[in-house]
Amino acid sequence: MSFFKTFAQGQHYANLWPRHAIVAALPEAMVVPAVAFAARWMPAVAVVNFLVQFQWQGEAMIPQAIVTSLFLLSMPLQGWYWLGKRAHSQLPPRLQQWYLELMAKLRLQPHDKATYLALIVALNKALRELPPDQH
């Protein structure tokens, strides 16, 4: 998968991520909101960072101000890249079993390779269609 496709897949995976207590134990439950927060606020923080450093330290520190601002701007990209890689990672055995149970309850054919993305797609469908006690 290409570098930019991984970012796009990470954004797609973050958009599909359910805000539900059933997935609260997975790392994505903390990563997805953090990436959304970073995507919204880091551009403004990067500009303020540059301006404050320029004002307090002068022209001699412009390269350092640029580098720190670029680092702040890269934070959401790092999160989307991680999410894109995670989306296509194979599920561990316990989650793979849950995925297979969900697919059986939904009466759907499971994918050959059970990934986190396939699990989230199945889980979203289960949250919409199944009664709460069958998730």
Q: 42: Cβ–Cβ under 8 A, 6 or more apart, which residues? A: 72, 73, 75, 76
pLDDT at position 2 is: 87
Sign of CA dihedral 23, 24, 25, 31: positive
Whether 17 has a pLDDT exceeding 80, the answer reads yes
In single-letter form, the type of residue at position 123 comes to: L
In angstroms, the CA 70 to CA 47 distance is 10
130 vs 126: which has the higher pLDDT: 126
Listed by start position, the domains of the chain span: 1-17+25-87, 89-135
In single-letter form, the type of residue at position 86 comes to: R
pLDDT at position 135 is: 54
Residue 108: pLDDT band (50, 70, 90) is confident
| pTM of this structure | 0.86
pLDDT at position 133 is: 65
pLDDT at position 113 is: 87
